[in-house]
Amino acid sequence: MKVIFGIDVSKSTSTVCELINDSKSITTITNDRAGFLELLNDLKAFTQHPQIIFEATGVYSKRLQTFLDDYGYEYVFLNPLKAKKEMNLGLRHNKTDTTDAYHLALIQKLYHHPVNQLQAEQYCQLNALSRFYDQLTSDIVMAKNRLHKILQFTFPELESLFSAAKGFNYWSIVKMYPHCELVNGSTNLEIYNKLIELPGFQDKKAKKFTLNLISSARRAYPAASCNSVESSEAKYYAQRLIDLNKKRKNLIAQMVKIAEDLPNRDLEILESIPGFAQVTAVRVLGELGDLRRFSSPNKINAFIGIDPGRYQSGEIDASLSITKHGNAVARKILYRAIGQIDNASKTHPCHIADYYESKKLSSQTKGFKKIAIASIHKLIRTMYALINNDQLYDYDVAKHNQKRLLS
């Protein structure tokens, strides 16, 4: 007797379809302690653990996932895009919570999706911190855009004194001088004394920057007064950027501490890959988790959505672009990692950078994005092999293995 529980999770309730062979029964539970205990009683009615499947609906499904983990029940945690595609193959015409729960149970009966592998709690903590880091990054981008906009009213020339990569010193100076008139009303010595307190500002640089700042302030023609709301707003966003950046650094420090306390040396292994900075390494651990739980590198490709789609009709059998059904954050991190590896290869050679550069030189039609995706495939295979074999990266060994595979 095959028993499958298909669960459609909503904000405050969940619809449960209990599928026993071809017989089904539908119930609704609340997403709280009482509702989960009701579900537990239904699960305990069977001598063997039923198969459980539900969609990854963000924050709403997390409580159900935690409940099942706490009581030792295995489950299939299905990506919503993949679930929708598989349910639509059955020519689903109506969409309700009841039919969704039923169709989830049906696709598990048809496709036999493997259950999710449990990981150490540290990986869950790393994932939560990684997502917090990603949110802070979005907040920083938003605050930067707003600061740029508001400075056009008060002191637009200030931006030109810094390179494109503006950071702590730039925000600190905006906080001190959000309006050009504040510079005009200060002496050279007053400005110099403030600048010399900032990191990286030695005597010579502070004197030169003081003159440039005064010159820029004299050229400026502001659209708002010195005591305007816009001046206060510029100062606010400068301080917000300082705080957000500090918080983001603290998160990385937390992630490093957790990763170093893992009962393995995954962090050290990932950092041994040329171009893999500590930030990249801990975020990869946070998004991908324990790579040992995957049975092959192809499973990781599918997890982050870089596995190719397929179109088959009659005599046509073609590969499509990547599915993008997986972890978009991990996909973004690994895409950027390829650029970091390529930049680092000038001083620290890496077979992935060799592959990336050779493809760019030989390809006349493929865009760089496609080449980067192909390089991510190679990076994933490398990470998977290193972690499963508990080895640090070695360029000579990697080159030797490449030649052996080609021969």
Q: What percent of the chain has pLDDT over 90?
A: 75
Residue type, 184: N
Structure-block tokens of residue 46: 């069977």
**173 vs 96, which has greater pLDDT?**
173
Average pLDDT over residues 381-402: 93
| Domain-wise residue ranges, the chain | 3-116, 124-256, 266-406
**pLDDT band for position 64 (50/70/90)?**
very high
Cα 320 to Cα 111: distance, rounded to the nearest angstrom: 22
- Tens digits of per-residue pLDDT, 227-280? 999 999 999 999 999 999 999 999 999 999 999 999 999 999 999 999 999 999
| 69 vs 65: CA distance, rounded Å | 6
Contact 353, 344 (CB under 8 A): yes
113 or 155: which carries more pLDDT confidence?
Answer: 155
Architecture of 124-256 per CATH?
A: Orthogonal Bundle (1.10)
Distance CA 65, CA 27 (A): 18
Question: Could you give the dihedral angle defined by the CA atoms of residues 388, 392, 396 and 402, in that order, rounded to the nearest 10 degrees?
Answer: 20
Mean model confidence pLDDT for the chain? 90
pLDDT above 70 coverage of the chain, percent: 92
Predicted local confidence at residue 56, as pLDDT:
86
* Banded model confidence at residue 91, pLDDT cuts 50, 70, 90: very low
Mean pLDDT of 272-293: 96
Query: Looking at residues 134-163, what average pLDDT do you find?
Result: 96
The gap from C-alpha 404 to its chain's centroid, in whole angstroms, comes to: 34
pLDDT at 197: 97
**Per-residue pLDDT tens for 6-28?**
999 999 999 999 999 889 999 99
Q: Tell me the pLDDT band of 336, cut-offs 50, 70 and 90.
A: very high
pLDDT at position 364 over 70: no
Report pLDDT digits (tens) over 96-121. Answer: 768 899 999 999 999 898 888 888 89
Q: Mean pLDDT throughout 287-313?
A: 81
Give the residues across from 25 on adjacent strands: 18
Architecture field, domain 3-116: 2-Layer Sandwich (3.30)
Amino acid occupying residue 20: I
Beta-carbon contacts of residue 303 (< 8 Å; ≥ 6 apart) = 288, 294, 326, 327, 330
User: Smallest Cα–Cα separation from 338: which of 357, 322, 325, 323?
Assistant: 357
pLDDT band at 318 (very low <50, low <70, confident <90, very high): very low
Read off the DSSP letter of residue 160.
G
pLDDT number for residue 88: 74
In order, the DSSP letters of 89-114 are TTT-----HHHHHHHHHHHHHHH-PP
pLDDT at 401: 81
Distance CA 12, CA 14 (A): 7
